[in-house]
């Protein structure tokens, strides 16, 4: 086997060092600086993007805080307006109830007065009509006469 021949070790090791040394210098002088530059640029870009994101996050949080404060203030103001409107509605309801009660009392009084007037106007006429009807029936049933004053007293007791 030629790989294990000791006489060729020195030349293989020599060329190994030459090849890998030149490869090391090419990689370390050409590729690594460019790769380092690309990594630094990307790191800077990522860091700038992260800083911008944190700045935007702070702005958003401050806007959310302002929005929530405005929303709470609007809720408080809306509650005050609604409570005021409800109080006005209750007050108006009480006023309307009082007005309706007064109107009801007036109408009841007016009706009572008209009924009393009607009663007083037609009671006497009704008594006379009832007396004359009673006299007519009494005469037809008994074939006798009775005093009109007696029947009028009986009819007036019923009224």
Higher-confidence position of 40 and 120: 40
Query: Residue 143: pLDDT above 80?
Result: no
Instruction: Quote the pTM value.
Output: 0.45
Q: Which helix (H) or strand (E) holds 146?
A: none
Q: What percent of the chain has pLDDT over 70?
A: 97
pLDDT tens across 36-49, in order?
A: 999 999 999 999 99
**Domain map of the chain by residue range?**
9-158
pLDDT tens across 13-67, in order?
A: 899 999 999 999 999 999 999 999 999 999 999 999 999 999 999 999 999 999 9
Question: How many distinct helices (H) and strands (E) make up the chain?
Answer: 3, 0
d(CA 124, CA 120): 7
């Amino acid at each position: 086997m030629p790989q294990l021949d000791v006489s060729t070790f020195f030349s293989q090791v020599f060329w190994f060092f030459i090849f890998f040394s030149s490869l090391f210098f090419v990689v370390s002088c050409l590729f690594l600086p460019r790769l380092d530059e690309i990594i630094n640029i990307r790191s800077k870009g990522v860091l700038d993007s992260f800083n911008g994101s944190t700045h935007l996050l702070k702005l958003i949080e401050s806007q959310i805080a302002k929005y929530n404060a405005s929303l709470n203030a609007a809720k408080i103001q809306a509650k005050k307006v609604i409570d005021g409107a409800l109080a006005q509605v209750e007050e108006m309801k009480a006023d309307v109830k009082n007005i309706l009660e007064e109107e009801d009392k007036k109408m009841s009084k007016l009706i009572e007065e008209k009924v009393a007037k009607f009663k007083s106007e037609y009671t006497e006429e009704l008594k006379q009509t009832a007396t004359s009807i009673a006299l007519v029936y009494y005469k037809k049933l008994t074939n006798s006469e009775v005093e009109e004053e007696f029947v009028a007293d009986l009819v007036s007791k019923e009224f």
